[in-house]
Amino acid sequence: MYTSRRMFLGGLISSAFVSQFAFSSRAQEAPALFTKKPEDFDPNLIVFLSDTHCNPKGTSYQRQHFQAVVAEILKMNPLPSHVVIFGDFAYLNGGREDYAAASQTVKPLTDAGIKLTIGMGNHDRRKPFLEFYPDYAKTSPVPERIVSVVETQHLDLIMLDSLQHEPSGKGIVSGAIDPEQRKWLALTLKDYKKPVFVCAHHEIKELKLDKLLVNTPQVAGFIHGHHHRWRRGWTASNWSSTKTLRTLCLPSTGHWGDIGYTLFRTSPDRAVAELRQSDFYFPHPMPKEKRPAEWDIRLEENRGQTCTFLLPKVTSA
């Protein structure tokens, strides 16, 4: 089982290199964007990536896993309409070289016509990120933060910015939502006309958003990264209340922990997240002879897992 899985992953990585190269060559001749038709995309399919930790070193396992996932997405038929990245897009310290590598790695997605949204994690830094993605400074509804609203047919996603760092640029692991962003969120959610998911790099309780989100009927769920684990949960407004909000923590594409990505399929009454896990390792991959047996147990236990969110009925006033 282990050998075949590793071979499968190895195959994915090799094919990623081939596919990336082939794609770049084609893209130079004619941008892929102009070769795609609307029917090539599924408007109800979104792919979630998190904690890509894009190591600028091309031979690193983080980069290879990230490239393999991008190659897998590009082979989907139909293609997802959106890819959303839940932060820690940079490797460790939000260096310019990290964003140069990460933006190059995801470029085939946007070249293919897939809409890409990136959130901030504790390993990101806004200033170097904006050098590569300046439009976020214009589109973010909260000044000095990188906040996005992803609109789809049945639901929207609000990606918050929970990054904190010291004035020197030194990272702070924990996340927070600043008062201005919190105020904007509360006002925005108050009259929201569609089911909406609130998303961030850090978890709901750490961001002190549980009371607001559980008590906002339009909010269908909270989705986050940071822990590098596929983990489903529920948050309640208080112990004895039946009012709960479903939460989901996403795996890392290749740094450590649960390794993979998530398909998010939407329909008029529900959204179903489906785990695509290729590996588990901590704190880094190990050769077969040293690999703890428990890692394969984790893979077995997660195989085929889904997380269903019921969408609230939102009546527009």
Could you list the residues that contact Fe ion (CB under 5 A)?
Answer: 51, 88
Which of residues 80 and 87 has its CB atom nearest to Fe ion in the complex? 87
Which of residues 20 and 64 has its CB atom nearest to Fe ion in the complex? 64
Which of residues 249 and 271 has its CB atom nearest to Fe ion in the complex? 249
- In whole angstroms, the minimum distance from the beta carbon of 225 to Fe ion comes to 7
- In whole angstroms, the minimum distance from the beta carbon of 284 to Fe ion comes to 14
- In whole angstroms, the minimum distance from the beta carbon of 67 to Fe ion comes to 18
Which of residues 79 and 159 has its CB atom nearest to Fe ion in the complex? 159
61-74 vs 2-29: helix crossing angle, rounded to 10: 70
HEC per residue, the chain: CHHHHHHHHHHHHHHHHHHHHHHHHHHHHCCHHHHCCHHHEEEEEEEEECCCCECCCCCCHHHHHHHHHHHHHHCCCCEEEEEEECCCCECCCCCHHHHHHHHHHHHHHHHCCCEEEECCCCCCCHHHHHHHCCHHHHHCCCCCCCCEEEECCCCEEEECCCCCECCCCCECCCCCCCHHHHHHHHHHHHCCCCCEEEEECCCCCCCCCHHHHHCCCCEEEEEECCCCCCEEEEEECCCCCCCEEEEEECCECCCCEEEEEEEEEECCCEEEEEEEEEEEECCCCCCCCCCCHHHHHHHHHHCCCEEEEECCCCCCC
- In whole angstroms, the minimum distance from the beta carbon of 251 to Fe ion comes to 11
- In whole angstroms, the minimum distance from the beta carbon of 299 to Fe ion comes to 20
Which of residues 88 and 98 has its CB atom nearest to Fe ion in the complex? 88
Instruction: For residue 141, report the phi and psi dihedrals to the nearest 5 degrees.
Output: -75, -10
For residue 232, CA distances in Å to 11, 34, 101, 150, 288 come to: 30, 39, 31, 22, 29
Which of residues 88 and 279 has its CB atom nearest to Fe ion in the complex? 88
State how far the Cα of 154 lies from the Cα of 269, in Å rounded to an integer: 8
- In whole angstroms, the minimum distance from the beta carbon of 123 to Fe ion comes to 6
Which of residues 101 and 219 has its CB atom nearest to Fe ion in the complex? 101
Which of residues 51 and 156 has its CB atom nearest to Fe ion in the complex? 51
- In whole angstroms, the minimum distance from the beta carbon of 20 to Fe ion comes to 23
- In whole angstroms, the minimum distance from the beta carbon of 280 to Fe ion comes to 15
